[in-house]
Amino acid sequence: MGTLDYTVATLGSHCALQLLKGAKDEGLRTLLVCEKKRLSLYKRFNFIDDIFSVDDTSDIASDRCIGRLRETNSILIPHGTLIAYMNSDQIERINIPIFGNKWILRWEADRDLKQKLMEESHLSVSKSIDSKNDIQGLCIVKLHGAAGGRGYFIAWNRESFERQALRLKDQKMISGEQDLFIQEYVLGVPAFLHFFYSPITKEIELMGADRRYESNVDGLGRIPAREQLSAELEMSYNVVGNIPIVLRESLLLSAYEMGESFVNTSKNLVPPGMNGPFCLEGVYDREGKFVTFEFSARIVAGTNLYVSGSPYSDLVYDEPMSMGRRIAREVKLAIEKNMIDKITS
Ligand code: AMP
């Protein structure tokens, strides 16, 4: 089968524009599964060949939708919105090819599995704290799932934890303290490192880096300390956008090593391993050491910065190479080599 026999499909949100633009640039057919309320946005872009509209996100797994994806011989590219709307069981049951390794998405969603994969990859990892009674230094308290940082708060002892947990409960964001995950807070510069691993070439590529612009935590610094102390401000880490980062060149070697170590470990823990795009998320501490607090086992929205390529992809490719286009190129390569099974699950 040739390139035109396949369609690259994704859900209308997160990084859909970049993904489908990249697929079109590589000469592939594109399909968007889109909620009705978002149609007017996506209809503006002529690189989307076909739109399948659904009433709401619960229809994504419907027979009608999966049937259309199958008819069009689609490869579905998972992103943050897909995994926010579907649980791991639902994703694993999707019966069409999904780009990358869908089994590893469960390891992203489950905090304990996530911590295990990071630790076994020999990354320096921000410690998880089992109980509110064990909180000693500064901690960040997170909600489970890909909530985009909404509702996260900082605690420094049991009392500050309980007070803020109660607020989230009152706001119906959690049903109880068991919905919260406590992690050691790492002071430094947050950075999100975007990688792509090809199971065909067996090469890892650093495709870019970003930091998130989060509300309202990134607004707190605009208020003088006196007002911060007196106004009892509530904080949150709601992602609004992304800001590019270029790393000091002396940090690049360890970035590649961390990516490689993660890929190698994932091959044993979650076969066939971390194929395709992924992101290591952490903080460079004051010694310049990267302490990882999360990973995403699929494309992250920070790659939207680099639709025309990044300072890193430009070193490897003589043409603009977004993460979306890199994915499409992998699909093309797999079609040529008759290896679609290797890049999908
Ligand atoms: P996450 O949803 O885990 O990616 O985190 C959202 C935001 O919280 C990040 O962009 C960071 O600003 C911050 N953050 C998360 N975990 C930590 C941590 N362990 N130490 C310091 N900041 C963190």
Q: What is the pLDDT of residues 33-49, one digit of tens each?
A: 999 999 999 999 999 99
Q: Whose CA is closest to atom 23 on ligand 1?
A: 185
Whether residues 210 and 313 share a domain: the answer is: yes
Q: 3-class SS at 119?
A: helix
Q: pLDDT band for position 225 (50/70/90)?
A: confident
CA of 42 to the centre of ligand 1 (A): 30
Mean pLDDT (whole number) for 142-158 = 82
At residue 295, does pLDDT exceed 90? Answer: yes
Cβ atoms of 130 and 184 within 8 Å: the answer is: no
Tell me the residue ranges of DSSP E strands in the chain: 7-11, 29-35, 50-54, 74-76, 128-129, 139-143, 153-155, 180-184, 189-197, 204-216, 237-244, 276-284, 290-296
In a domain, 340, yes or no: no
In a domain, 57, yes or no: yes
CA of 251 to the centre of ligand 1 (A): 20
Establish whether residue 238 lines the binding site of ligand 1, counting it when its CB lies within 6 angstroms of any ligand atom: no
In a domain, 158, yes or no: yes
CA of 261 to the centre of ligand 1 (A): 22
Q: Please name which of 312, 291, 121 lies closest in space to residue 207, comparing C-alpha atoms.
A: 312
In a domain, 231, yes or no: no
In a domain, 117, yes or no: yes
Q: pLDDT band for position 150 (50/70/90)?
A: confident
pTM (two decimals):
0.95
Q: In this structure, which amino acid lies at residue 17?
A: L
Whether residues 195 and 147 share a domain: the answer is: no
Q: Tally the domains of the chain.
A: 3
Whether residues 113 and 260 share a domain: the answer is: yes
54-70 pLDDT, tens digit per residue, is: 998 888 889 999 999 99
Among 114, 138, 293, the mutation site with the greatest number of ligand 1 atoms within 8 A of its Cβ is: 293
203-213 pLDDT, tens digit per residue, is: 999 999 999 99
Whether residues 191 and 314 share a domain: the answer is: yes
Which domain covers residue 138, as residue numbers?
128-184
Tell me the C-alpha distance between 95 and 82, whole Å.
15
Q: Whose CA is closest to atom 19 on ligand 1?
A: 185
Instruction: Give the whole-number percent of the chain exceeding pLDDT 70.
Output: 99
Whether residues 207 and 284 share a domain: the answer is: yes
Domain harbouring 178, CATH code? 3.30.1490
Among 283, 284, 289, the mutation site with the greatest number of ligand 1 atoms within 8 A of its Cβ is: 283
Whether residues 297 and 148 share a domain: the answer is: no
Domain harbouring 34, CATH code? 3.40.50.20
CA of 293 to the centre of ligand 1 (A): 7
Domain harbouring 202, CATH code? 3.30.470.20
In a domain, 307, yes or no: yes
In a domain, 150, yes or no: yes
Whether residues 198 and 179 share a domain: the answer is: no
Looking at residue 141, what is its pLDDT? Answer: 94
